[in-house]
Amino acid sequence: MSDKGGRVHVMRDDTPVLIGAGQFTYRGVAADSPSPLELLKIAAKSAASDAGLDEAVLAGIDALAVVGFSIDAPGGLSRLPVPRLLNPPISLARAVGASPRIDLYTYTGGNTPQMLVNQFAERISRGEVELGLIAGAEFLGSLMKRLKGGLGFGDDWSDDVTQPPNMVGDPRPGATPHEEAHGLAFPTNTYPLFENALRARDGRSIPDHQKHIGDLFAPFTRVAAANPHAWFPVERSAEELMTVTAANRMVGFPYPKYVNSILEVDQSAAVLIASVSKARELGVPEDRWVFLHGCADAADLWNLLDRQDYHSSPAIRLTGERALDMAGVQLADIDLFDIYSCFPAAVQVAAEELGLAIDDPRGLTVTGGLPYFGGPGNNYAMHGIAEMMQRLRDRPGGYGLCTANGWHLTKQSVGVYSTRPVEGRWEREDPKVIQARIDALPHPPVIERPQGAATIETFTVIHSREGYRMGIVIGRDREGRRFVANTPEDEKTLRGLEAAEAVGRTGTVGPHPDGVRNLFIPD
């Protein structure tokens, strides 16, 4: 295989290479929607076809992983009264006639698609795997409509597999019980905390920062409008994104609905990854090959209250640096980006940590982003990788960088891709090396039962469909210890937090009347 400069590269047989990718978006009526298993099968077959192979090749996979469904995550969705696949990897293996030696199902995390690609690449380089399939799907769009309409579910929404799946990833919940009691278990509540901290740090007024958010995400809508797989293929202006209306209600200040990731979609995606020797044996044309040149995985300090601050991510910075270094390239060499975009703060923090301007002319997404392409649960990053593969095939020798994020800017995975062949042995650094550096970082002490004078470090105001609901404050007491509290729920207090910059505002914190939470009363 030669690069665009004519140099011939002799690739090792154990070099991992992505050979196929498939995506599917269902927009039909809920009564006819594909089951979760059917969504996985469609994406898997599409990945085989993309590699120029018959779907029968899927019977020969020796490793298979399925990204965790949202209904299997801890929390309210897990209690929905719906039939389930108890072991999705085994169900999918049976459906495609495969008997893989390795079958995995992931814990919750939007980082998991990239994490799985990184892990499968490592297994291939070690000779443990020759051909792997990684697939995922989200079906909350039709599922919720089926529940609301009493439509029922077909027999293929469950099967007779009862053995528990082999789990992979980090099983820790996204919030401690103390954090959860104050509303920090929900990303729609936590990402606004990062956004308000960013605004305060940068010294923008609230109106100026709202325009800043709109200017950031308007180009994402333009990409989504041109993407045939996008859930909302509608281009919107910055003003439209940030103007609160009946259709675009405030969710968690400062985010109206149009800049929130949308989970209720019906989408699936899958990738096939093989060794170079297997790809050749299968006869996959080399113009389909895309290589993972660099990768890294790490998590920031796990608990939200333990973070150094709410406008940075050492995990993104260090995984980005490591992935680029492994690939032997610099940020300036990257032609395409897909920055995980569940909420505006996630994009801004990631771009800053990578050293990327948010108005970089190369763009920040190849899909359109989670609020517009769709936020298919834990599986969005698989769509980002699939789209990146095609974009790179269209510009041989170029480089693309994908980021993937889980929980509350917590878990990070990065991949650097190119059609340019990998030179020498493919080998990644043990993720424990970066993780040890992050875990050793200093952070503020936390107090669960604060009392007395306090200052707001960051905050948000949560809205329901009916209006104002509650305020969440992360603050510091007079000794600099960090706490979380809720505010009084009267509209005057909540409006006051939104009217002028509340970061840095003083007040009093103490026990909430419910005896469980803390209560912060602004001065």
Task: Using only the alpha carbons of the chain, give its radius of gyration.
Answer: 23
Distance CA 243, CA 211 (A): 10
Q: Is the dihedral of CA 271, 274, 276, 282 positive or negative?
A: negative
For residue 10, the model assigns a pLDDT of: 77
Residue for token digits 């939200």? 304
Q: What distance lies between CA 128 and its chain's CA centroid? A: 28
Its pTM stands at 0.97
Instruction: Give the Å distances, CA to CA, from 286 to 46, 120, 126, 132.
Output: 18, 20, 22, 18
pLDDT in tens, 489-518: 999 999 999 999 999 999 999 999 999 999
Distance CA 463, CA 459 (A): 13
Distance CA 235, CA 218 (A): 7
For the chain, 523 residues long, give each residue's pLDDT as a single digit of tens. Answer: 545 455 556 789 999 999 999 999 999 999 999 999 999 999 999 999 999 999 999 999 999 999 999 999 988 898 999 999 999 999 999 999 999 999 999 999 999 999 999 999 999 999 999 999 999 999 999 999 999 999 999 999 999 999 999 999 999 999 999 999 999 999 999 999 999 999 999 999 999 999 999 999 999 999 999 999 999 999 999 999 999 999 999 999 999 999 999 999 999 999 999 999 999 999 999 999 999 999 999 999 999 999 999 999 999 999 999 999 999 999 999 999 999 999 999 999 999 999 999 999 999 999 999 999 999 999 999 999 999 999 999 999 999 999 999 999 999 999 999 999 999 999 999 999 999 999 999 999 999 999 999 999 999 999 999 999 999 999 999 999 999 999 999 999 999 999 999 999 999 999 999 999 999 999 9
For residue 4, the model assigns a pLDDT of: 47
User: What domains, with CATH codes, occur in the chain?
Assistant: 16-174+262-439 (3.40.47.10), 452-522 (2.40.50.840)
DSSP for 349-365, written as a single string: HHHHHHT--TT-TT-S-
Distance CA 285, CA 419 (A): 12
Establish how many alpha carbons lie within 13 A of residue 90's alpha carbon, considering only the half-sphere containing its beta carbon: 13
